[in-house]
């Protein structure tokens, strides 16, 4: 028996890296998983939605793959429609789709690139959350997990004006949304995974200096599963850092 037997989870940005790892972790715990991503990476990174779906099916999991640009409201609504039509419910939304622009100053970043990243990192969680909330409200339960970052709160982490600003917005969006939907027993939390050894990180030259301190995305699986199991009565409106898992939050955490 898995911890998520009978649950349905949507994972965006699931073609590689953290999204793929979380989708596989949910499936391994018994959830039916709806995975989404754009048809191909705008940065040319390896990994496809079909490969993630194949991994899950080969391991005996149940998966529905839907191509979706999270900045396109019609595509988001169609993804949610397909999920509900196939499974009848949506218990978890893991908003993983995102972009990074690091090591560049405001003068390096033109307006179209600023707007593109903001659409993905902020509009994406907004559109996906707005689409699934009516389903979760009808159910009287749900869990929304948004990806945060230490760069959202600490300028010394060198996130830069664009990425750090986008993640700070995600943090506040999540905390305010948690208050809005608490009465419907829906949890909204921020997961800050820390440095990862992902395809995206490998493409950033300066990440090599702390590569030995980074973890494989699969290490975040237990954290994401724990958050998926929460509702507003147990754990919501929190910034959940990987470095504090098991101490201030998660199984065995201090009361």
Run of H or E including 161: helix 160-181
Q: How far is CA 227 from CA 100, 140, 148, 173, in A?
A: 24, 17, 14, 17
Q: How far is CA 251 from CA 124, 147, 244, in A?
A: 30, 20, 11
Count CB atoms within 10 A of the CB of residue 177.
21
Q: Kindly provide the residue ranges of all beta strands, DSSP E only, lying in 12-141, ordered along the sequence.
A: 32-37, 62-67, 92-95
Sign of CA dihedral 211, 214, 219, 221: negative
- What is the set of active-site residues? 163
């Amino acid at each position: 028996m898995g911890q998520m037997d009978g649950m349905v989870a949507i994972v965006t940005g699931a073609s590689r890296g953290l999204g793929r790892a979380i989708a596989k972790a949910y499936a391994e715990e018994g959830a039916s998983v709806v995975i989404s991503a754009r048809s191909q990476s705008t940065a040319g990174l390896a990994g496809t939605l079909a490969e993630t779906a194949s991994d899950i099916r080969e391991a005996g999991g149940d998966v529905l793959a839907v191509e979706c640009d999270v900045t396109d409201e019609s595509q988001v609504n169609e993804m949610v429609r397909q999920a509900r039509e196939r499974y009848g419910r949506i218990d978890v939304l893991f908003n993983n789709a995102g972009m990074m622009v690091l090591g560049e100053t405001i003068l390096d970043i033109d307006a179209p690139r600023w707007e593109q990243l903001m659409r993905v990192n902020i509009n994406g969680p907004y559109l996906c959350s707005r689409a699934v909330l009516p389903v979760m409200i009808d159910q009287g339960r749900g869990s929304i997990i948004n990806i945060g970052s230490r760069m959202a709160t600490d300028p010394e982490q060198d996130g830069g004006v664009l990425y750090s600003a986008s993640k700070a917005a995600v943090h506040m969006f999540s905390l305010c949304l948690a208050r809005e939907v608490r009465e419907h027993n829906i949890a909204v939390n921020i997961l800050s995974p820390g440095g990862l050894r992902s395809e995206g990180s490998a493409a950033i030259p300066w990440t090599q200096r702390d590569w030995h301190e980074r973890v494989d995305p699969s290490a975040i699986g237990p954290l994401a599963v724990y958050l998926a199991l929460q509702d507003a009565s147990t754990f919501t409106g929190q910034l959940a850092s990987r470095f504090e898992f098991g101490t201030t939050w998660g199984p065995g955490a201090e009361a």
